[in-house]
Amino acid sequence: MDYVTPTTAMEASKALAQDGAFALAGGTDLLVKLKTKFVSPSVIVDIKQVPKIMSIENSTDGWWIGAAVPCAEISEHESLRQDWPGLVESLSLIGSTQIQGRATLGGNLCNASPAADSVPALIAAYGTCIISGQSGDREEPIENIVTSPGVTVLEKGEFILGFKLPKPESGTGDAYLRLIPRSEMDIAIVGAGTSVSVDKDKKITSIRVALGAIAPTQIILDGLEDLFIGKEPNENSINKLISIAESACRPIKDKRGTVEYRTKIAGVLAKRTLTIAYKRAINH
């Protein structure tokens, strides 16, 4: 097994184009899979020396978060937290303090687990990612990246350079909640990320709810615009949100939760994240 540390995006792409190559960011997923012999890479491509991959930038265009910035560093970014508190909360749930010292958003997305915590929050925040490859860069919405558990749209030689988030207009709030049986060090049974924007009259102008762990990939709830746009949330619309969330679920029954349980919790977390995000929006 080889280990390489490319210093340009092109070198990294070339290295990753080899058979059996794996990108290494924080390694909190990859090293576990190596140890348990789940994967046996021919070459490990440590992408952390590629320019821009380790930086966080705030410009008029919005936010840039490098794909290999450790979650702990993102959490400490005060103005990012002010703009997208829900996203920052989602990644501060990953593992533990030690794990967050290494874990990255790029790794969380590309590991392609339906339960990845930051992904619903990134989707709810209308995030996109920049994919680097041998023929240059392209931009894709986050929700287009994972196609099924463990599988992404990335082609041979491609990797994620970083994430773009819009600068939130005033009156925007987001929230992320997950349910785990323990209080930490666990995998989400359901994760929910929600963002809303409101006008001066506290009426909703945009809404997005993304759910994790209830289907093979993260999903964005449909049909919320008609329910919420131009209105304040009320008991009726929230109850409808709960049923939309429940009926969007296509969970598997496994050791972490029954189908019935995941379905029920999807509704509860959709409701709870909307409540938090809405409160944040009217105070933003």
Partner 1 sequence: MNDMTQTNLERALKIVGSRPARPDGVDKVTGRALFGADKSLPNMLVGRVLRSPYAHAKIISIDTSKAEKLEGVKAIITSADFEDFPSEFVPNGEMVVNMKDITRNVMAREKVLYVGHTLAAVAATDEDVAEKALALIDVKYDVLPHVLEVEDAEKSDAPLLHDDMITIGVEPMPTSASNVAKRVEFGLGDVEKGFSEADLIVEREFTTQQVHQGYIEPHACLASVSEDGQAELWCTTQGPFVVRNFCSKLLGFNAAQIRVTASEIGGGFGGKTVVYLEPLALALSRKSCRPVKMEMNRAEVFTSSGPTSGAKIWVKIGVKNNGKITAGDCVLKYQAGAFQGAPVGPGAMCAFAPYDLKNVRAVGFDIVVNRPKVAAYRAPGGPISEYGVESVIDEIAMKIGMDPIDLRLKNAAKEGTVAPYGPKLGPIGMIETLEAAKSHPHYSAPLGANQARGVASGFWFNIGGETSSSITINEDGTVGLTLGTPDIGGSRASMAMMASEELGVPMELIKPIIGDTNSLGFNFLTGGSRATFSTGTTVVESTREAIEELKKRAALLWEVSLDQVEWVDGHARLISGNEPKTMSLAQIAKQAGKTGGPIMANCSMNVTGAGPSLGTHIVDVEVDEETGQVSIVRYTAIQDAGKAIHPAYVEGQMQGGAVQGIGWALNEEYIYNDKGELENTGFLDYRIPVCSDVPMIDTVIVEVPNPNHPYGVRGVGETPIIPPLAAISNAVSRATNKRFDELPLSPPKVLAKLMHG
Q: Which residues bind partner 1 (CB under 8 A)?
A: 179, 181-187, 189, 254-258, 260-261, 264-265, 268
Site for ligand FAD in 126-155 (CB under 6 A): 154
Per CB under 6 A, 28 contacts ligand FAD:
yes
Q: For the chain, where are the alpha helices, taking DSSP H only?
A: 9-16, 30-35, 71-75, 78-83, 85-91, 97-100, 105-110, 118-124, 224-228, 235-248, 259-283
Per CB under 6 A, 263 contacts ligand FAD:
no
Q: Which does 23 bind (CB under 5 to 8 A by kind): partner 1, ligand FAD, none?
A: ligand FAD
Residue 195: C-alpha distances to residues 28, 145, 168, 198, 220 (Å):
28, 20, 10, 10, 11
Q: Are strands 21-24 and 43-46 parallel, antiparallel or unpaired?
A: parallel
Q: Which does 265 bind (CB under 5 to 8 A by kind): ligand FAD, partner 1, none?
A: partner 1
Close Cβ partners of 87 (under 8 Å, ≥ 6 residues apart) = 80, 118, 121, 122, 124, 125, 127, 165, 174, 176, 193
The nearest distance, CB 40 to partner 1, in angstroms, is 12
The span from the CA of 32 to the CA of 68, in Å, is 18
Which residue among 27, 120, 127, 133 contacts ligand FAD (CB under 6 A)?
27
The span from the CA of 114 to the CA of 178, in Å, is 12
- Whichever of 80 and 190 has its CB closer to partner 1, that residue is 190
Which one, of 205, 237, 210, lies nearest residue 222 by Cα? 210
Among all residues, whose Cβ is closest to ligand FAD? 107
Per CB under 6 A, 87 contacts ligand FAD:
no
> CB neighbours (10 Å) of residue 3?
10
Per CB under 6 A, 111 contacts ligand FAD:
yes
- Whichever of 15 and 242 has its CB closer to ligand FAD, that residue is 15
- Whichever of 30 and 69 has its CB closer to partner 1, that residue is 30
Which one, of 137, 129, 111, 101, lies nearest residue 12 by Cα? 137
Q: Which does 99 bind (CB under 5 to 8 A by kind): partner 1, ligand FAD, none?
A: ligand FAD
Contact (CB, 8 A) for 132 and 140: no
Q: Which does 133 bind (CB under 5 to 8 A by kind): partner 1, ligand FAD, none?
A: none
Binding segment for ligand FAD among 3-11, 56-64, 89-97, 231-239 (CB under 6 A)? 89-97
The nearest distance, CB 199 to partner 1, in angstroms, is 30
- Whichever of 46 and 246 has its CB closer to ligand FAD, that residue is 46
The nearest distance, CB 160 to ligand FAD, in angstroms, is 4
Q: Residue 14 is encoded by which pair of tokens?
A: 């070339």
Q: Which does 145 bind (CB under 5 to 8 A by kind): ligand FAD, partner 1, none?
A: none
CA dihedral 52, 55, 56, 60 (to 10 degrees): -30
Interface residues with ligand FAD (CB under 6 A)?
Answer: 22-30, 32, 47, 67, 93-95, 99, 102-104, 106-108, 110-111, 116-117, 154, 159-160, 185
